[in-house]
Structure 1
Amino acid sequence: MIDQQLIQRINELARKKKAEGLTNQEKQEQARLYQVYLKAIRGQVKQQLSQIRFVDKQ
């Protein structure tokens, strides 16, 4: 699930990576957080696509 804390931490790590670089532990955390985020996004997209119904007007 995507919550505000997850997004905030991802953004913090992204800013730190750009400014000064990340430690190995932070790189691992960032990769894990990205996976959590992407899994949640994919789940949301799949759920929305599963709700689409095509109607043939013929």
Structure 2
Amino acid sequence: MDMNKTIERINYLYHKSQDQELTAAEKTEQSQLRQKYLQAIKVNLCSQLEILKPQKNEGKYSYKPCNCGKHHH
């Protein structure tokens, strides 16, 4: 299941839970989908943080995500 479908299903189960009690299977599915979503966010964040490298500039450290020259860092 791709992430958009995962989010759609999480939202569907949330809205359904507001109208009626979810079954045990639906509660389990909701929990598993939420964990999958959170894991994807953590992986994405970690990969973005790995790109950042400290650069020493005039005695101060700054973090530059790229060397493209198009951004003011």
Higher relative contact order (CA 8 A, sep 6+): 1
Between Structure 1 and Structure 2, the one with more strand by share is 2
Q: Same fold (TM over 0.5)?
A: yes
Structure 1 stretches lacking a partner, 5+ long: none
Structure 2 counterparts to residues 36-55 of structure 1, below 5 A = 36-55=36-55
Q: Deviations 1:5-41 (Å, cap 9, x if unpaired)?
A: 1110000000011111211010000001011101100
- TM-score (normalizing by structure 1): 0.90
Q: Could you say what the CA RMSD is over the residues aligned between the two structures, in angstroms?
A: 1.5
Structure 2 stretches lacking a partner, 5+ long: 60-73
Larger CA Rg, structure 1 vs 2: 2
Runs of 4+ in 1 over 6 A off after TM superposition: none
What percent of counterpart residues are identical?
A: 36
- TM-score (normalizing by structure 2): 0.73
Between Structure 1 and Structure 2, the one with more helix by share is 1
The count of corresponding residues between Structure 1 and Structure 2 is 58
